[in-house]
Chain A
Amino acid sequence: MAHIWPIGGGKGGTGKSFLTGNIGIMLARQKFKTLLIDADLGSPNLHTVIGLPYPEKNLSDFFSKRLADLEEAILETPIPNLFLISSARNKLDVANLAFEQKMKMLRAISRLDYDYILIDLSAGTSFNTIDFFTLSGSGIFVCCPEPTSIENLYRLILSVYIRKIHQVLKSQYFRELAEKAEARNSDATINKPEVLLHVLKEIDPEKAEMIERILRGFQFRLVINQLRKQDNPTIGSLICQIIEKHLCLNIQFMGNVSFDERVHDGLCGKAPFVERYLYSQVTLDLRSVARGIVNGHHGEAEPLLSVRQV
């Protein structure tokens, strides 16, 4: 079964597509059969990052049933072992997927025979993005060491958290419990999921324990991108500490990726960065993150279990 990693971050411009593309290349170069999926349906550009300017097929062909299954949407790339499902030249109305379409897509993804599948997600906290995290039970968050980026990261993680509780409890029961919880403690709103969970524990301990178990089962990772010399290199660990301590989520810091002016040059040259700047600090950092993805799987539960169960 493939290891599936949705890659997201609350804010645009944090380097999600850059990391997805370049880590994918590194995994492929290590002879892992790797598939990249551009699920940033509104502003797709993963194909550009890996140097494939004219993808012939795209994801909307799958949704519009022009392609019989997802496998037909897969494109070969110039890099051996690396494959792509692009969203370039998608139909413009495909940006908002229905829940059923996402489920269909995730089910189809889970049937694909690859070593690694990396899904590049859009910025923001739309259901399009957070459902990939809640349904796969895993994910890599990309964040820059800036207040705006960190603020949006927390917002995204809290949205995933509350969406999962919502999915587990089903809509009506969730509303009832949320109302009861809010009546007991005015802080227990959906904006304060950790307080909500504590109050749920008092109202329905069995359900609360089940939710906590499911939330603890998430396999989340964090990468700090564009770290400059003057930035605190431990910021990623500190963010993980806050999330683990206050949201009881399992999140592991995977490392920092340095800031480099040449990333811009690489993108303008439409060539993959890690192929062009083999010995740059950014390439070394990305290699370490890719190593973390490969080594991190030993002894772990298989991601996407929940998708198969749904």
Chain B
Amino acid sequence: MKKLQDQHFYELLNVEFNASPLDISRAYKDLHELYREDSLASYSFFSKQEREEILAKLHEAYSTLMDEDKRYRYDRLLIERGILPEEMQFQAEHRALRQASLANHFIRNPLLKITDELRALTSSNSVIQEILSYDALSGKDLKRIRKELGISLEVIGEITKIRPIFLRAIEDDAFNIAPSKMFLKSYLKAYAQCMGLDPNIVANLYLKRLDEQKASGSANQDHVDK
């Protein structure tokens, strides 16, 4: 049994060396749940100071592995120390290279068809993967993903043949302008597919938030009426 302080970040988060940002994000979320101040499962097992140290260490691991540059440097360090196998260097470099070229990818290929390569590019982006790990997605989240990919609304409009006014309404959460729910779902799917994301997941997470907002809006209205 290794002391917590002696564990490297991958051991600490209990993920593989080649874990995707989504895997890392999930692992961190689970562990944070386990060690957070009001966790019932770890109640009384740690002193306040021990708990704070564990949480700080977990956060350090998470923020390092979620940042491609920091992760690349950290992997190099582990390779130098002989903890990480030599062949992982190639993977680390490849990941960093893909990340760097991602922003320019759409500029050079505005009408890029949805290919496995595009999906790989999206799945290797830490910011995008973090956003996708949320319980629900807002228009602002979708906009962040799009900006991260460096793709304009016009390009998406051109590929999907959806009018930019509707695309903008989706991103602005302007539900009064957005089309009916049935059309909205198909627009969301096309929008997501265009960016190499899973269309069903994106559409469901967005609609989930929409429903929640509507529910809370009607609850507030009831309150006002009363």
- Pairwise interchain contact A154-B1, C-beta atoms closer than 8 A: no
- CB pair B45–A246 under 8 Å, yes or no, is yes
Given the interface pairs A154-B45, A242-B34, A242-B45, the reply to whether A235 lies near B40 with Cβ below 8 Å is yes
- Residues from 35 to 58 in B contacting A, C-beta threshold 8 Å: 39-45
The tally of residues in A whose CB lies under 8 Å from a CB in B reads 18
User: Does residue B108 face the partner (Cβ distance < 8 Å to A)?
Assistant: no
Chain B: minimal CB distance from A162 (Å):
15
A197 proximal to B (CB < 8 A): yes
Q: Closest approach, in angstroms, between the C-beta of A259 and any C-beta of chain B? A: 16
- Give the chain B neighbours of A238 by CB distance below 8 A: 33-34, 39, 41-42
Tell me the smallest distance from the CB of B146 to a CB of chain A, in Å.
35
Over the window 1-22 of chain B, the binary record of Cβ atoms lying under 8 Å from chain A Cβ atoms (1 yes, 0 no) is 1010000000000000000000
Contact residues in B for A147 (Cβ distance below 8 Å): 40, 43-44
A window 230-246: CB within 8 A of B = 232, 235, 238-239, 241-242, 246
Q: How many A-B residue pairs have CB under 8 A?
A: 35
**A267 interface residue (CB < 8 Å to B):** no
Q: Which of A145, A194, A198 contacts B40 (CB 8 A)?
A: A145
Number of interface residues, chain B, beta carbon within 8 A: 11
Q: Which of B3, B34, B40 contacts A241 (CB 8 A)?
A: B34
Instruction: Note all chain A residues with C-beta closer than 8 A to B45.
Output: 154, 242, 246
Chain A, 153-200, CB within 8 A of any chain B CB: 154-155, 194, 197-198
Is residue A150 within 8 Å, beta carbon to beta carbon, of the partner chain? yes
List the B residue with the shortest CB-CB distance to A195.
B3
List, in ascending order, chain A residues with CB within 8 A of B3's CB.
Answer: 198
A198–B44 alpha-carbon span in the complex (Å): 21
Mind listing 18 A-B residue pairs with CB under 8 Å?
Answer: A145-B40, A147-B44, A150-B41, A150-B43, A150-B44, A154-B44, A194-B1, A198-B1, A232-B40, A235-B41, A238-B33, A238-B41, A239-B41, A241-B34, A241-B41, A242-B41, A246-B45, A248-B1
